[in-house]
Structure 1
Amino acid sequence: MRAAWLLLALAAALYCAWRFAGPTPLQTNLLALLPATEADPVAEEAVDQLAGALGNRAVLLVSSQDAAHAKAAAGQLGAVLNASHAFASVTAQVPPFDLGRITRFYLPYRFGLLTAEDRAVAGGSAETLRGALAERLYGLPNAGLATPLADDPFGWLQHWLAGLPLAASNLTVEDGFLVAHRANTTSVLVIGTLPGSAYESEVQRGVLLAVAHGETALKASWPDVSVARTGAVFYAESARRASERDVHVIGIVSAVGIALLMLWIFRSPWLILLGFVSTALGVVCALAATMLVFGKLHLLTLVFGASLIGEAVDYSIQYFVVYLGARHGWDSRRGAREVLPALTVALSTSLLGYAILTFAPFPALRQIACFAIVGIFTAFASVIWLLPSLMTQPARRSPKTLFAVAAASLAKWQALIGGRRAWGVALVLVILAVPGWLQLRSDDDIHLLIQRDPALVAQERVVSEAVGADNSAQFFVVRGASPEAVLQRTETLCKRLGALTGASALSGWQSVTSFVPSEARQRADRALLGAHVFADPAALRALLGAAGFRDDVAQTWLDAWAHSGASVLHVDDWLAQLWSQPFRHLWLGRSVSTPGAFAAIVIPQGVSAANEPALLDVAHASPGVSFVDKAASVSRLFGVYRQDGAIWLAGALTLVLALLTFRYGWRGAIAVALPVWLAIGVTLAAFGYAHVRINLFNLLALMLVLGVGANYAVFLREGAARAFADRGAVWTGVLLSAATTLLSFGMLGMSSMPALKSFGATLSLGIMVSVMLAPIGIPSGIPSDMHKNQRRKA
């Protein structure tokens, strides 16, 4: 038996070591916590693709009141980051770029690219055309993308190019740097492209080390320069570092606290060692199983796993109580058989509580459920089959005095709340709880799950304000059966967005159709020119000649029109251009999740609570369009599952009662279940009185209160019913089990993750009330210790 457990431990430990030796299995992507919330799988795919496209950059803003210092410091920072090899590429200075490339790219398609204003001009009279031509010839020169007069006599292409959202920010190019000016401050943008995923720990460490080195060098050379940074890599590293700190603090404090408690009660380092052997087996096997099933281990699971120590050690504590109570008549196998019924019922209720978590929509909660189920089952199995082979010798001493004090306190406490008085206690607690229940309020905000580093949020705000970019997480997803269908639907959507007025209006939007109109739009524009401008070539040639164009220039333009019939701009042509790279995320292309579907996104600018309802109305009125607000979607899902959680909890209470009825009969089952029922009610009432808004995680924690808190009444009832059992020892074991569990779960309150804080607060209060009311489950028919001792002597 010992050899079998040793092989299991070695296999699990070697697998964990192998996984952690390679690419880290830790999942630091905060979005991995979130469920699929969009009804359209293409929209959910868009969320992932957009996050991936925008998440592989690290953005740094170098600022100073001296413009020369800001530019010099940005150049130095770019050189340091580039030399660190922590980035695939670093852009501090924009390489020379011929803007004429953009003009030359669009020139073959010029006759299908008209602005709304130019459509009105082209469809007008000859006098209107003459005026447009005069304005082109004698008007002020265009500061944007210019087109040759011979290739664009009326300036229609030049007007269309002016509408390209190439500079949708406050940035301008000065001396090769991307510069933003605000008041007296000059800020220079430095962008680094990551060599891998922002959620890989090696990438995070390399980036953080390089940035820290660069900032230190800047401080030495330019004391007046400040650096602000933003990017998914910084948030992911912050979350990983905070979670690792949580694991260390919770794990170490829990382990030390549990060891000291057990040493005070059992006065045996050997028993402490065996208790941690059982717990370590549970944790290692849980780690291995979770990584085997899910492939990745989320930080939330790891932090919660550190708190599982207190629950996993409960099973060995119950076995130690029997061991110390037996003294010279000790038989390790018989001792295991004596605790088997209590541990089996306790394991069943705990597994039920964690099994319910597997139905929650959040991937991290399913991981936690898998981790806990494997961990506590392994701990249970090790107590039943491994510890008896390691504890064959009887105990040398037993804490008789402590057990006697515990027995006396249990007798007094049971006399106060047990027997027929239990119903009076229950009634009083319910009466006191009702006002608290009536004050319960909920809060389903997604930020209860994810809390970003405030320092990074402040720096992100500095970068956004300087650049002038809107970091709105809301966007439209437009899907269709072909790229052309997507482009047409996108144009319809943009037209409706442009029609919004007043409080519903947007400040703008980004769309792929700003760069590539639909084929239908291009052909319509060409047809308009063919019907009104080029229908009479002689009149058009005369118009151009009167304006001063040479005949050969006018004929060249007319020939270009004649040969442009098949010239249609497609998305793939635009994507092939190097300068389209900053905007390629607007085109999602062929869907991976839905065969035969194509998609694009439209990112609105200036989204607010005032205009969001109008945006939703626009999406609902547009075929193939959905409005994605991931935060709001998850918050709504929080609310739905919180409401369903009440039903889950009621169902779980019923299942636990049925399970206990099978063992104790219906009267005994009610007596054993009553403490944990009251604990759940008191916990909810306390939240109401304290005006703590409850959320899904509070209700899920109450599931665990049900699974774990029911154990204490079970341990007491089973221990009191065992022949020659010492009630003082049993009560001591129950209190010690509760203390270790409280110590572990209570430490979750120190976690940096708000979700785990909710877990910890709910579990701690619920378990505390459960153990205090546990004596209600001891039936009055079981003989007291005094009668047991007399029977033992007889």
Structure 2
Amino acid sequence: MPSPTERWLPRLFKLGLLLLLGLGAWQCRDGWPVSANLMELVPQARTDATRQLAEARIQEPLSRQLVALVAAPAGGDSAAAARLLAQRWQQSGLFATAQVDVDVDLADLRARLLANRLALLPAAQRQQLLDDPAAYAQRRARELVDPFSSSSVVPVDQDLLGLARLAEQALRPGGAVQYDMGTGTLVAEGAGRSWVLVRATTRDDAFDSDAPARVAEQIDADRRALAASGADLLVAGGALYAAAGRAQAVAESGWIGGIAMAGIVLVLLLALRRWRALLALAPVAVGLLAGTVACVAVFGSIHVLTLVIGASLIGVAVDFPMHWLGKSYGMPDWRAWPALRRVLPGLTISLAASLVGYVALAFTPFPALTQTAVFSAAGLLGAYACTVCQLPAWMEYFRPRPWPPLLRFAEAALRARERLAGRRALLAVGAVLLAAITAGGIGRLGIQDDLRQWLSLPAPLLQQARQIGEITGFMPTSQFFLVRAPDPDELLRRQAQVSQALDAQVATGKLQAYNALSQRVTPQADQRALAAALGTLADRPEAWRAMTDIGLPFDALRQELRALAALPPVTLDAAMQGQAGERWRPLWLGQRDGEAAGMITLLGLRDPAALAAIAQAAPGVTLVDRSGELNRMFSATRVEAAELKLLSYLVAAALLCLTLGRAAAWRILAVPLAATACSLAALGYLGQPLTLFSLFGLLLVSAIGVDYAIFMYERVAGAAASLVGIVLGALTTLLSFGLLAVSQTPAIANFGLAVALGVGFSLLWAPWIRPPRQA
């Protein structure tokens, strides 16, 4: 009969469950609080406001911008197909902008080119004008007599020296994209076809809960509509990557959870042969609910990767009822409440040991580990509460029917262990061989920390992005230079110094191109110096003899030189205005706290190793390599997580000493330590690297190993019944984590494999634990 306290426990649990359900429903009031933003799972660097602004500018295209290329079949109108696509995007309501036509204001462009001639003049031509104006005049004279080399938006009679033409060339974006005056679009040639560029901005962020999926559906419909007329569509953008990642994570969590649940149902029905045994799944549901609600409460949302890993909590959460129900194999008169009283100390100690490990991981600076630790800790607490407080009330009149073959298997395994234990010489040889094999496997183990392990994008998306880069010639990279200086002029000088080093990389093919503010405008002091020099040259007709020899009157040249000398210098802020400054506008971060700041972005980088040395080209230059920083953070966090877990072992040892005694502590901890070592060796032999997530999996293995060892040590209802409970728990855990090993996301697959190996080795070593009196 249940005690008065036991009669109250179900009521308190139901009240707590109602509160948990209410909180979960309130958290979903504005939709499912599920995030697909990978950056939420990585540490955020502690940086100043200027660098944060720079990183936000770099991140913005990934969050909202899409780039598309449209090509009609041979002889077709690609511009018309691109305009149809832009029209469909505008009508969908998903896009804030969708641009095909480039509205070039020629009058404004001419005016800006004439006003910005000195500011836009490339460094080589500026230096030639200063050092050898006669050589410049000779080159310009050759251009003037060649009608094909002197064409420009600005008429020759307004630009005798060709400075506006040089400025126009400096404004061109480079790459393979060119402005087609016939259609008013940007066109690139590739694969024997003309591709028209379409640029769009989504209304919602790529990491909003539902927006990416709607954008992906819209683009699929657009591709079908264009294909009907024979046109091809290539699209790349953060929204598509987020939609694919979210869809894959949700699908994997669904089928992993579904197959695991089906397997666990089968195990329960086989082992206990009663339909009511399926109530053992209730702690799983409560655990998943508690973990999800806790994550949303702490972090504001739960990430899809946490959901995928959380789906595997099914196999761990069901361990609590499995140990309790498994005692029916050694208790012919099994009753719910009395059986719970006998296993409650072991369940509680196991829970405490597991929580110590998760709490330790929650203090790592890595949000991915922190969120998973919070989810797992809250989930285990919920599953424990359901098992201890509610299940006995539901199963008060439940009478399990143990499956005899399972008991016979456990008894046979224990007899085999006893026979081996009696052959000490053989055990010693086996131990030496096992140690050697384990050491050899660990020696083969490699360490890998790479952000790309977190990504598993569909091949068609990657192929489209690659094709767009190859056709347009633009392949942006995540690395960039942040340049700071006391004022805008010095900023431009420092960027020019970095540009010289980058030009060498471009010349050797290690870099495709780059964007720098110094390409758009020169320092005002340099503009004034050039203006003064041109004013002086207005009185030196001999310097312009090459041009006068082809018929240009020197009076016209003198007039233009004096007009150039009178041009006011162009400021950096002014240079960013209008269409001409659009390409460089995001690079200018403005002035704050007494310094000017700007970026240099890179395209088609093939040798990242050279960037660190280039950053030394000028003072105030910082190489920002977020992916590289994250990889280094992964390594540091992996070490820190291992240290914290070692500390948790010490805490667990102290807890076991206080509850079960010192003799029990080292026996129990030997199981997870041996399982972890064997798992590391197995990973080495399988050619799998040790990653941050496989380490996290092995840390979870330590909690599972402690759990198995405690129940084998206590041997409630006999060793065979305890082993049956462990086997049932191991089967359910393997069903969950083993399936993670086939995930398409490398980090999750690595995690699942590590846990599956660890559970298998924990099951292998746990039966060797014996109470001190039997040792």
Q: TM-score scaled by structure 1? A: 0.86
Contact 1:475 1:627 in 2 (8 A): yes
Amino acid at match of 1:737: G
- 1:119-176 CA-partner distances (Å, limit 9, x unpaired): 3343247756765775676554656653355654423243233222434433442523
Once structures 1 and 2 are overlaid, which stretch shifts more, 447-456 or 77-86?
Answer: 77-86
State the Cα deviation string for residues 469-523 of structure 1 (Å, max 9, x = none). 1233332222345544433322221133235587486443211221233xxx222
CA contact (8 A) 1:243 1:752 kept: no
Farther off after superposition, 647-656 or 175-184: 647-656
Q: Deviations over 1:589-625 (max 9, x none)?
A: 468xxx666532212344223xx33322111343222
Q: Does 1:262 align with 2:262?
A: no
Alpha-carbon distance change, 200 to 362 in structure 1, aligned in 2, over 3 angstroms: same
Q: Residues 1-400 of structure 1 correspond to what in structure 2 (within 5 A)?
A: 1-36=9-44, 42-43=50-51, 46-92=54-100, 94-124=101-131, 131=138, 134=141, 138=145, 140=147, 145-148=152-155, 152-173=159-180, 174-222=182-230, 225-273=231-279, 275-322=280-327, 330=335, 332=337, 335-391=339-395, 393-399=396-402
Given residue 305 of structure 1, which amino acid in structure 2 is its aligned partner? G
Structure 2 vs 1, CA of residues 458 and 130 (structure 1 numbering), >3 Å: closer, same or farther? closer
Q: 1:375 deviation in Å? A: 0.7
Q: Map residues 363-762 of structure 1 onto 2, 5 A cutoff.
A: 363-391=367-395, 393-399=396-402, 401=404, 404-405=407-408, 408-416=411-419, 426-480=431-485, 482-499=487-504, 503=508, 506-517=511-522, 521-530=523-532, 532-535=533-536, 558=562, 561-562=565-566, 564=567, 567-578=568-579, 580-589=581-590, 598-609=596-607, 612-642=608-638, 647=643, 650-718=646-714, 720=715, 722=716, 725-762=717-754
In 1, the alpha carbon distance for the partners of 2:173 and 2:99 equals 18
Distance 1:125 1:621 in 2: 28
Matched, 1:775 2:773: no
The 2-side partners of 1:597 and 1:370 are apart by 42
1:649 deviates by 5.3
Question: What letter is aligned with 1:764?
Answer: A
- Whichever residue aligns with residue 602 of structure 2, its letter is P
Aligned-partner Cα distance in 2 for 1:582–1:504: 23
**Letter in structure 2 aligned against 1:230:** A
Using the alignment, how far apart are the partners of 2:591 and 2:611 within structure 1? Answer: 25
Q: CA deviation at 1:541?
A: 13
CA distance in 1, matches of 2:543, 2:673: 94
How far residue 305 of structure 1 moved from its aligned partner, in angstroms, is 0.9
Instruction: Tell me the amino acid that sits aligned with residue 659 of structure 1.
Output: L
Distance change in 2, residues 1:754/1:597 (3 Å): farther
Shift of 1:367: 0.9
Q: Deviations along 1:177-202, whole A, 9 cap, x unmatched?
A: 32222353222222322111112243
1:781 aligns to what SS in structure 2? helix
Query: Separation in 2 of the partners of 1:72 and 1:125?
Result: 50
Whether the aligned pair in 1 keeps the contact of 2:366 and 2:637 (CA below 8 Å) is no
Q: Could you tell me how far apart the structure 1 residues matched to 2:133 and 2:95 are? A: 58
- Contact 1:481–1:598, Cα closer than 8 Å, also in 2: yes
- The more displaced of 295-304 and 99-108 is 99-108
Letter in 1 for 2:109: I
- Higher deviation after alignment, 376-385 or 358-367: 358-367
Deviation at 1:536, TM superposition (A): 7.8
1:548 CA drift (Å)? 5.5
User: Offset of 1:397 from its aligned partner?
Assistant: 4.6
Q: CA 1:399–1:555 in 2, change beyond 3 Å: closer, same or farther?
A: closer
CA distance in 2, matches of 1:199, 1:743: 31
Contact kept, 8 Å, 1:480 with 1:598, in 2: the verdict is yes
Deviation, structure 1 residue 324? 7.6
- Cα distance in 2 between the residues matched to 1:501 and 1:243: 40
Q: Secondary structure at the match of 1:200?
A: coil
Q: Secondary structure at the match of 2:661?
A: helix
CA shift digits 1:221-262 (9 cap, x unpaired)? 32xx32222111111111111111111101111112112211
Q: Give SS of 1:374's match.
A: helix
State the shift of 1:310 in Å. 1.0
Give me the whole-angstrom Cα distance separating, in 2, the residues matched to 1:23 and 1:150.
64
Measure the CA separation in 2 of the matches of 1:778 and 1:377: 28
Q: Secondary structure at the match of 2:271?
A: helix
User: How big is the shift at 1:347?
Assistant: 1.3
Number of aligned residue pairs: 761
Residue 681 (structure 1) shift: 1.6
Structure 2 alignment gaps of length 5 or more: 1-8
| Distance change >3 Å, CA 620–CA 524, structure 1 → 2 | closer
Closer, same or farther: CA 538–759 of 1 in aligned 2, 3 Å? closer
SS of corresponding position for 2:173: coil
Aligned-partner Cα distance in 1 for 2:544–2:616: 48
Change (3 A) 1:219 1:21: farther
3-state secondary structure, aligned to 2:501 = helix
Letter in 2 for 1:683: S
Whether the 8 Å CA contact 1:251–1:307 is kept in 2: the answer is: yes
Cα distance in 2 for partners of 1:243, 1:768 equals 26
Root-mean-square deviation (CA, aligned residues, Å) is: 3.5
C-alpha separation in 1, matches of 2:377 and 2:435: 32
- Amino acid of the residue matched to residue 185 of structure 1? R
The 10-residue stretch of structure 1 (95-104 or 457-466) with the greater mean CA deviation from structure 2: 95-104
Structure 1 CA distance for aligned equivalents of residues 509 and 470 of structure 2: 23
Secondary structure of the residue aligned to 1:692 is coil
Unmatched 5+ residue regions in structure 1?
784-794
Task: Identify which range, 198-207 or 680-689, moves more after superposition.
Answer: 198-207
CA distance in 1, matches of 2:699, 2:569: 61
- The percent identity for this pair of structures is 29
Residues of 1 paired with 2:19 and 2:216: CA distance?
A: 35
Question: Which amino acid letter does the alignment assign opposite residue 234 of structure 2?
Answer: A
